[in-house]
Amino acid sequence: MNADEIRRAYLDFMTERGHVIIPRSPLVPKDDPTTLFTGSGMQPLLPYLLGAQHPAGTRLADSQTCLRVQDIEEVGDNRHTTFFEMLGNWSLGDYFKQEQIPQVWTFLTAKVGLDPDRIYVSCFSGDPKNDIPKDEESAQLWTGLFQEAGVSSDQVDVGTEEHAAAVGTGGARIAFYGKKNWWCRGGKAEDMPVGEPGGPDTEIFYLFPTVEHDPTFGEHCHQNCDCGRFIELGNSVFMEYRRTETGFEPLPKKNVDYGGGLARIAAAAIDSPDVFRIGLLWPIIERLQELSGRSYEDETVSMRVIADHLRGATFLAVDGVMPGNKAQGYVMRRLLRRAIRFAFDLGLEENFFPQIIPTIAEIYEAHYPEVGEHAEYVEKVLVKEEQAFRRTLRKGLKQLRAYRGTTVTGAELFVLYDTYGFPVELSTEEAGRQGIVVSETWRDEFDEHMTAQRERSQRSTTLHV
């Protein structure tokens, strides 16, 4: 199955199981000024997980477009992108673990056809300090499924000697982690206000034995090791407790939140530890190879970054964001300008967006008709931004190189921003590449200049009215 087929199969599977398919929320949350982007399927549904009645009922599912700027540094590895689709399903006080764990297992093994022997999971080890028990129930359900499939089902507490030994022999099927597998708003059980709901989560990983463990990430590989040998496909949060004055008590109405990465499931389906090999990304990489005459093998990171950033910016434009100096617009500008900078390394020094954007639109228009409908507009917005930055990119890079041997100050970074249109994160990243030292206090200095400029421009607009 390819990614489009997996998305369709998922939504059909959930429909068969009584779920109502809800439309994706836009990348910019509607009534939530606290966050710039929709970063998970759960985010738009939080009010309902906290008790509000959802008009579509108690069983919901969707494919949610997400943007995580916090993952931008991760882009370049085999599994993180800033933009991605999360397959989600929710039980709002309806079914619980007994139904959800076998449900996701059936989808991944029977529908998508993943190898049961390469599925590994993590469960919550409990939190004695806060008096929250170990999630034995989830572990037992997983054990039953693994046994039925005829694969090992050993359990181990991560971090113990027993764990180290197990990892040495290929890893434990069910690994228990502490805080990592606890979900609540804010993340920490001890900081939860009285009445606040929370619960354990169980994560599902796929093992890629061809990827060698990288010891820089730790002596032993395990489910949550960052080396990329295990790829997290998804996780289920079981909201089952409520904070009390003295500890935790069971919630009368328990919820499930499941989120799985479409790209990663699709990569597992073609036995590729590299998500960029799937049909939603590979055509973009192919275009980049054609345009640059370079190979993906030689230019892996640059091509991954460009493909991801242009796809993210395309969806931002579809959802009404314009490149700009503030908030969402600034992030969009940063993505586009960073893509242009990386393309420079591939020898793509002339405008190339018009050769890429239509490929992105083609990939997505069948499932997201709005992408096809706005294709021309999107291209116009992105191309305009490319032309604007192209004019100053070379000069800006030259200016930055002139700082070699000195310590770049926040004031100088501001000049790069103001005169050459370099988002400050791009300048500091570039300085890093060139071995140029950046002053430790650059952020404060830069912000001061920024504030001063805003005040100046406000004053001049008031004078003119």
Task: Write down the H helix ranges in 175-326.
Answer: 262-269, 282-292, 300-318
396 binds ligand ATP per the rule CB under 6 A: no
Closest to 133 in 3D by CA, of 222, 235, 234, 247:
247
Task: Write down the H helix ranges in 210-281.
Answer: 262-269
Q: Among the candidate windows 118-126, 233-241, 323-331, 345-353, which touches ligand ATP by CB under 6 A?
A: 233-241
375 binds ligand ATP per the rule CB under 6 A: no
Q: Among the candidate windows 134-142, 256-264, 343-351, 403-411, which touches ligand ATP by CB under 6 A?
A: 256-264
First-to-last C-alpha distance (Å) of the chain:
61
Of the candidate residues 62, 71, 135, 412, the single one contacting ligand ATP (CB under 6 A): 71
Of the candidate residues 162, 232, 345, 425, the single one contacting ligand ATP (CB under 6 A): 232
Q: Site map for ligand ATP, 77-106, x if CB under 6 A?
A: ---xx--x-x--------------------
259 binds ligand ATP per the rule CB under 6 A: yes
10 Å Cβ neighbour count for 393? 21
The CB-of-234 to ligand ATP minimum distance in angstroms stands at: 5
Q: Which residue do the tokens 């328990």 mark?
A: 254
The CB-of-224 to ligand ATP minimum distance in angstroms stands at: 7
311 binds ligand ATP per the rule CB under 6 A: no
| Cα→Cα distances 133→122, 136, 179, 200, 203, Å | 15, 8, 12, 9, 18
The CB-of-434 to ligand ATP minimum distance in angstroms stands at: 28
Nearer to ligand ATP, 122 or 155 (CB): 122
Q: Among the candidate windows 5-13, 76-84, 139-147, 329-337, which touches ligand ATP by CB under 6 A?
A: 76-84
Cα(231)–Cα(108) distance, rounded to whole angstroms? 14
What are the residues facing 77 on neighbouring strands? 75
Q: Which amino acid is at 43?
A: Q
Nearer to Mg ion, 235 or 314 (CB): 235
374 binds ligand ATP per the rule CB under 6 A: no
What angle do the packed helices 97-106 and 136-149 form, to 10 degrees? 40
Q: 307 in the Ramachandran plot: left (φ > 0), alpha (ψ -120 to 50) or beta?
A: alpha
What are the tokens at 202?
């169980």
235 binds Mg ion per the rule CB under 5 A: yes
175 binds ligand ATP per the rule CB under 6 A: no
Query: Phi/psi of residue 294, each to 5°?
Result: -105, 165
Cα(259)–Cα(87) distance, rounded to whole angstroms? 6
Q: Which residue do the tokens 């607009």 mark?
A: 461
Cα(384)–Cα(391) distance, rounded to whole angstroms? 11
Which residues in the 164-223 window bind Mg ion by CB under 5 A? none
Q: Site for Mg ion (CB under 5 A): how many residues?
A: 2
82 binds Mg ion per the rule CB under 5 A: no
Nearer to ligand ATP, 235 or 302 (CB): 235
What are the residues facing 230 on neighbouring strands? 207
40 binds ligand ATP per the rule CB under 6 A: yes
423 binds, among ligand ATP, Mg ion, none (CB under 5 to 8 A by kind): none
Nearer to Mg ion, 259 or 421 (CB): 259
Q: 204-221 in b/e burial notation, b at 16+ Cβ within 10 A?
A: bbbbbeebebeeeeeebb
Nearer to ligand ATP, 26 or 41 (CB): 41
The CB-of-236 to Mg ion minimum distance in angstroms stands at: 10
379 binds, among ligand ATP, Mg ion, none (CB under 5 to 8 A by kind): none
Nearer to ligand ATP, 232 or 425 (CB): 232
Closest to 82 in 3D by CA, of 27, 26, 10:
27
Q: Among the candidate windows 15-23, 192-200, 226-234, 356-364, which touches ligand ATP by CB under 6 A?
A: 226-234
List interacting residues with Mg ion (CB under 5 A): 232, 235
Binding site for ligand ATP (CB under 6 A): 40, 68, 71, 80-81, 84, 86, 232-235, 259-261, 263-264
